[in-house]
Amino acid sequence: MKGAEAIIKALEYEKVEVIFGYPGGALLPFYDALYDSDLIHILTRHEQGAAHAADGYARASGKVGVCVATSGPGATNLVTGVATAHADSSPIVAITGQVPTKLIGNDAFQEIDALGLFMPIVKHNFQLRSAKEIPETIRSAFNIAKTGRPGPVHIDLPKDVQEEELDLDKYPIPAKVELPGYKPTKMGHPKQIKLASSHIFKAERPVIIAGGGVNIANATSELMQLAELCNIPVCTTLMGKGSFPENHPLALGMVGMHGTKPANHAVSESDLLIAIGCRFSDRITGDINSFAPHAKIIHIDIDPAEIGKNVRVDVPIVGDAKLILNNIVSNLIKISMNNNGNREWVEYLQSLKKSCTPKMDYSDVPIKPQRIVKELMNVIKELNIERKSIITTDVGQNQMWMAHYFKTHFPRSFLSSGGLGTMGFGFPSAIGAKIAKPDFKVISVTGDGGFMMNIQELGTIADYNIPVVICLFDNRTLGMVYQWQNLFYGKRQCSVNFGEAPDFVKVAEGYGINALRITNPEEIEECLKEALISDEPYLLDFAIDPSEALSMVPPGGKLKNIIDPITEHPNEKVICFDEIKRRFLEKGSNKNENALLEELSESEKDEGIKV
Amino acid sequence: MGSIKSEKKEKNNETHTHIISVLVLNNPGVLQRIAGLFTRRGYNICSITVGSTESPNMARMTIIVKGNDKILEQVVKQLNKLIEVIKVSDLSVNMCVKRELCLIKIHAPNESSKSQIIQYTNVFRGKIVDLSQESLTVEITGNSDKINAFVDLVRNFGIKEMARTGLTALMRGPKILKSKKS
């Protein structure tokens, strides 16, 4: 058997169902082996799309997503997607082709140091040097990707290794792999769990921050138990959205820079902060010195390096969130914790929450994004697909509007690029999510900027007829940058306007995809319904108000210091090519063309003399 | 309470030199992985030595890092996260044997300077490893202080070239670095 076939066998052994990829020279043996396999291969239109799709697949399903790309440019195109998965602890295995081992280091055609390139953005990576390493390496790669704190693993696969003969009987796929340097901790320390329980028992103003780790650990029901048992309000990070139903009376919404007022106040005024699977990024804490100033902090995380990295922690607990929460809950039941202790605190936060219910039912033209979010929630409810829908967002204003206004109730139903903030993530990750959960409605909410970064994947959903619904928040503006320039750079808008092109409806139609442009808020509901019921790929191009912006905490500011946005219509002047040409020619106008030519020939003469 | 906390904080902020011993799998690229971690996270390496160990598939790196307790804690934790790292240990300064090797080529154009350097070398238990008309090369081993002292001593003769290996170290006593599992 050839190495390439062994790889396919090893992937099948890992129960891989689908591969997102893009072939190329250094991967020809792999693709040849794929020809005889039952593995589904989704050909994306760009390697970045493949990486994001594998990531979306992993986030939606909890299984390992697989993407492949060829050597050199294929590998570099994967980088953004792999780094995105790394920042959000998403388990993917990325395979890149490589030039034959004999040519490595010779600057061969399409050669790049993929091992070095991926090293800082993966949990681990391998370069295969011989086919007999295949069975163990692939097994290790999947094991590393999905256990402990999940993350991407990269395998660099030279072409000759794919072609080398391998006897799988001699080098079988091992049932278990031993990695001497890799033993993730699962069980939390019982002493710390006890200590945490007693802190929770005593606390008067406790609050939980639920991060992405709760979703990853499938610990949502344990989180609910803890919150309800002890009457503890819950706020989430962006990655933690869905870990706690946002229609629950104890839910406070998102915390941090773009967080809600009740969530930010709760954290700032609490006497006990229970952080679960979150890494206290700068977007959560703001000014670190005024973050939760009165609170003792319990930090539960599977990655010991996250504890004490950004904030001081009083009770660190390393391990799996599900197991630890379970232990804490049973401890608290033992010491008969009742849920009346924090009543005043919860009532205070709930009244705060009521007082800042956001206005959503605008009927303005151009459409306000809040209205679209509202209609989207209503339609999902009406069609009774709350449990069977997945939202992916892009990065920027669309992401924050969704995080802020869209109520998420179920884990793995709100996928967003949190850590790396990758524009272009939303649409291709929706493709992956739809493949992972074919019976779910998958809605890609995106801005026009991020959508255009991977717009080529329209070809993928058209070809495979993948019924993803794209909700395009189209304001022809890089809204988040515009918002920051207005607030922090004296309204000096620079390079944030997109102008009129393209006509997204025509683009979609060019791919044979249904598309509607919606300019009237009264049409939103009907169009959403049409798209969601159709079971076909759909692009809904909402013309939204470009001046709309969100209130926020300034970077490095105190969480309670939420400032209002400046909402003015973007009015940046865009210069056109004719103007650029005029300026360039003007600069050179003291030299006429003949003089330039003379200069050129003289410099040639100079060179001639040198030679 | 506040004062205790701030005292503690001050203590934590003091910069110390730490000797970190890292047992790693001897795979291609492992040095880049470790060095890359330090660059990426903004930690400074004062010196790093790498060499084989009692086991052929493992290598030992001895890394000297300057930083406060918080940085050191992160360095150790981040190193531990690497799959190829078997064991990380912060060797406390007193509880380990540490050695550095230094080769120094010293300007010595005449007999009197030569004999003087040879004397100094003997006092420091070094070795003359090469000799020419106008220079001497000395090999000297010990901890960094000893080598610094010797270097200061011979500086006036004129140091033509010098190569130091950086510190390598092992724990005193019967304890050894073992894999994370055990």
Kindly report the CATH number assigned to the domain that includes residue A151. Answer: 3.40.50.970
CA quadruple A14, A17, A20, A25: dihedral sign: positive
Of A422, A568, A561, A556, which is closest to residue A487 (Cα–Cα)? A568
Q: A303, B28: Cβ pair inside 8 Å?
A: no
Tokens of B9: 């904080």
Backbone angles phi and psi of B65, in degrees to 5: -125, 140
β-bridge pairing A251-254 and A234-236: parallel
pLDDT in the model for residue B179: 62
Among B64, B91, B118, the domain-final residue is B91
- Region A437-456: mean pLDDT is 97
The reply to whether A351 and A373 lie within a common domain is: no
Q: What is the pLDDT of residues A579-601, one digit of tens each?
A: 888 988 887 665 566 666 776 66
Whether A500 and A527 share a structural domain: yes
Q: Residue A6 to residues A14, A139, A143: CA-CA distances in angstroms?
A: 12, 12, 18
- A449 and A517 inside one domain: yes
Q: What is the pLDDT of residues A29-78, one digit of tens each?
A: 999 999 999 999 999 999 999 999 999 999 999 999 999 999 999 999 99
Position A587 scores a pLDDT of 77
Nearest chain B CA: its distance from A196 CA (Å): 21
- From residue A227, alpha-carbon distances to A102, A134, A342, B147 in Å are 59, 46, 11, 61
CB A279 within 8 A of CB A251: no
**pLDDT of A602 higher than 90:** no
What is the C-alpha separation between A205 and A272, in angstroms, rounded?
6
Mean pLDDT of A112-138: 96
Q: Is A113 contained in some domain?
A: yes
Q: Establish if B175 belongs to a structural domain.
A: no
Instruction: Count contacts between A and B (CB, < 8 Å).
Output: 48
Distance CA B45, CA B64 (A): 6
> Looking at beta carbons, which residues of chain A come within 8 Å of B74?
305, 308-309
Does residue A309 have an active-site annotation?
no
Query: At B127, which amino acid appears?
Result: K
Q: Which residue of A has its CA nearest to B22?
A: A181
Domain, as residue range, for A521: 369-543
For the segment A177-217, what is each residue's pLDDT rounded down to a tens digit? Answer: 989 999 999 999 999 999 999 999 999 999 999 999 999 99
Q: How many domains does chain A have?
A: 4
A276 and A204 in a common domain: yes
- Provide the domain count of chain B: 2
Task: Say whether both A494 and A590 belong to one domain.
Answer: no
Nearest CA in chain B to A128: B28
**Is the backbone of residue A366 left (phi > 0), alpha (psi -120 to 50) or beta?**
beta
Least confident of A339-348, A489-498, B33-42: A339-348
> d(Cα A167, Cα A171) in Å, to the nearest integer?
6
DSSP 8-state symbol, A186: -
CATH number at residue B154: 3.30.70.1150
| Residues A536 and A422 both lie in one domain | yes
Is residue B180 a part of any domain in this protein?
A: no
A595 CA: distance to closest CA in chain B (Å): 51
Q: Are residues A310 and A390 in the same domain?
A: no
Instruction: Collect all residues with Cβ–Cβ distance below 8 Å to A453 and sequence separation of at least 6.
Output: A423, A424
Cβ(B47)–Cβ(B167) below 8 Å: yes
| Residue matched to tokens 């230094």 | B102
Indicate if A28 and A72 belong to the same structural domain: yes
**Is A1 a known active-site residue?**
no
- Say if the Cβ atoms of B83 and A181 lie within 8 Å: yes
Instruction: Look at residues B91, B122, B140 and tell me which one is the last residue of a structural domain.
Output: B91
pLDDT in tens, B146-166: 999 999 999 999 999 999 999
Q: In the predicted model, is pLDDT for residue A370 greater than 50? A: yes
Please tell me the distance in Å from A153's CA to the nearest CA on chain B: 11
pLDDT digits (tens, 9 = 90+) for A305-356: 999 999 999 999 999 999 999 999 999 998 876 666 788 999 999 999 999 8
Distance from CA of A184 to the nearest CA of B (A): 9
Q: Do residues A278 and A209 lie in contact, with contact meaning Cβ atoms separated by under 8 Å? A: yes
Instruction: Tell whether A309 and A375 lie within a shared domain.
Output: no
Write down the ipTM of this complex.
0.88
Residue of B nearest to A184 (CA): B81
Catalytic residue among A17, A110, A201, A350: A110
Question: What residues are paired with A316 via a beta bridge?
Answer: A299
pLDDT at B1 > cutoff 50: no
**A139 compared with B43, residue with greater pLDDT:** A139
Residue B12: domain span:
2-91
pLDDT at B2 over 60: no
What does residue A209 show for φ and ψ, rounded to 5 degrees? -105, 115
Mark whether A159 is an active-site residue: yes
**Helix (H) or strand (E) segment spanning residue B18:** strand B16-25
Q: Write down which residue in B74, B91, B108 finishes a domain.
A: B91
Alpha helices in A419-523 (DSSP H): 426-436, 448-453, 458-463, 479-488, 504-510
A409 CB-side CA count, 13 A: 11
Do both A375 and A509 map to the same domain?
yes
Instruction: Give the Cα separation of A434 and A457 in Å (integer).
Output: 14
φ and ψ at B173, to 5 degrees? 85, -175
Say if residue A246 is in the same domain as residue A123.
no
Residue A515 CA to residue A527 CA, distance in Å, equals 10
What gap in Å lies between CA A295 and CA A255, rounded to an integer? 16
Rg (alpha carbons) of chain A, rounded to whole number: 27
Residue A65 and residue A28 in contact, taking contact as beta carbons nearer than 8 Å: no
pLDDT tens per residue, range B123-134? 999 999 999 999
Q: Are the beta carbons of A124 and B80 separated by less than 8 Å?
A: no
- Give me the sign of the Cα torsion angle A328, A329, A334, A339: positive
- For residue A253, give the H/E element and its range: strand A251-254
Q: Can you name the residues that pair with A297 across neighbouring β-strands? A: A273
pLDDT above 60: residue A509: yes
